[in-house]
A = this chain, B = another copy of it.
Amino acid sequence: MNNFIFRNPTKLIFGKGTISQLPKEIDPTKKVLLTFGGGSVKKNGVYDQVIKALEGYDLVEFWGIEPNPKVETLRKAVALGKAEKVDMVLAVGGGSVVDGSKLIAASIVSELDPWALVSNRFPITESLPLASVLTLPATGSEMNSGAVISNAETNEKFAFYSFHPVFSILDPEVTFSLPEFQISCGIADTFVHTMEQYLTTPGQSPLMDRWAEGILLTLIEIAPEIMEDKTNYDLMSDFMLCATMALNGFISMGVSQDWTTHMIGHELTALKGVTHGETLAIVLPATMTVLSEQKKGKILQYGERIWGITEGSEGVRVAEAIACTERFFRMLGLKTRLSELGIGQDTIDEIERRFNERQVAFGERQNVTGPVARAILEECL
């Protein structure tokens, strides 16, 4: 096991009716910037629950944080927060709203432009307190310090790291009104977050392996039932818990990570606007195929423990494990091939060009360069 430091101070408030607990968590003298997405929280009642819970508080609202939040939008929220001298930020929405709000909270107390905070890759040392009311299980942003921010001007999409939310409220009932596609993408996102921390050198930590496998097995158990009934409280609770646990550091203690699939997926979103979870469903099986020699040991373990694959040669078992993974995403109703989205060689060319230009090398072994990314993307066609 590698040496590691783990700390996750976020208070998780989970369950039915928990939005009403907001006043227990927020000092009534604080001025709160509420941040929202496009308005679905007005339709599903979450907005009303939040406003009712925070009656008497000094609130400022910012609307319009889009999926794959753009720095251009977030700058407006930062200006509003500075002008109104808010004391904290409460993100009400899905992972994009929480991600964007991490940058808003850090930028309000900074003299730098928000994109400088992202692209300079300085560690963030100061931020307003951020909290969240989560409406879409997927990104894990509600219990980690990371965010992914897009720049429309440059067509770039980068990760940045700030502080953990002080608290996050997760009421599984708020997911009942989500469109099926968003739920499917959230399940895929959760699955691939887990795989990015699991599909690495075997034998680093048997416990972390078991915990990652625990999330994968749970998703595989509940996902077909969720496809049948998206308003089953217990199923949606399990999904919501899996999504948070898949990216809060609990399964990555002392082990290496990969993130190849995400790095390539982000480019598909930046260039072609493909929904994040769907990019992952497309790229993961191809990543496994192209890196199958390097990752053989863990793919065999994954095949056996997750899909019960014990028969055949190593090559046969590896291929079957990858096929099971793609079938799982298709069962969710997601596309798993670039050609299904009309994406072809020109996009692949551009992604390779970008990776070459930035001289990046991703993955556990830092060997996923432009040409390797091309091979993975061609496998996705």
Residues of A within 8 A of B (CB): 1-18, 172, 203, 205-207, 210-211, 213-215, 217-218, 221-222, 233-234, 237-238, 241-242, 245, 250, 253-254
Contact = CB atoms under 8 A, between A and B. Distances in A.
Contact of A1 (B2, B221, B238): B238
A261 to B, nearest CB: 22
Given A207-B245, A218-B210, A222-B206, A12 B3 contact: no
Given A6-B12, A206-B221, 17 more contacts: A1-B172, A1-B233, A4-B12, A4-B14, A5-B12, A6-B11, A7-B9, A12-B253, A203-B234, A205-B237, A205-B241, A207-B241, A207-B245, A210-B210, A210-B213, A210-B215, A211-B214
Contacts of A210: 210-211, 213-215, 217-218
A7 B234 CA distance: 22
A205 B210 CA distance: 16
Contacts of A16: 3
14 contacts: A1-B238, A1-B241, A6-B12, A7-B12, A14-B253, A14-B254, A205-B237, A206-B218, A206-B221, A206-B238, A207-B215, A211-B214, A214-B214, A241-B253
Contact of A3 (B5, B18, B205, B234): B18
A206 B218 CA distance: 6
A297 to B, nearest CB: 16
A205 B234 CA distance: 8
A221 B215 CA distance: 20
Q: How many copies does the complex hold?
A: 2
A3 B14 contact: yes
Contacts of A233: 1
Contacts of A10: 7
A171 to B, nearest CB: 9
A12 B3 CA distance: 10
A142 to B, nearest CB: 12
Nearest to A242: B207
Contacts of A234: 1, 203
Nearest to A3: B15
A5 B245 CA distance: 14
A238 B205 contact: yes
A234 B214 CA distance: 22
A208 B8 CA distance: 18
A131 to B, nearest CB: 13
A238 B153 CA distance: 47
Central interface residue in A10, A205, A210, by most chain B CB within 10 Å = A210
Contacts of A7: 9-12
A285 to B, nearest CB: 24
Nearest to A207: B218
A16 B254 CA distance: 12
Nearest to A166: B7
A10 B9 CA distance: 8
A9 B12 contact: no
A6 B14 contact: yes
Contacts of A18: 3
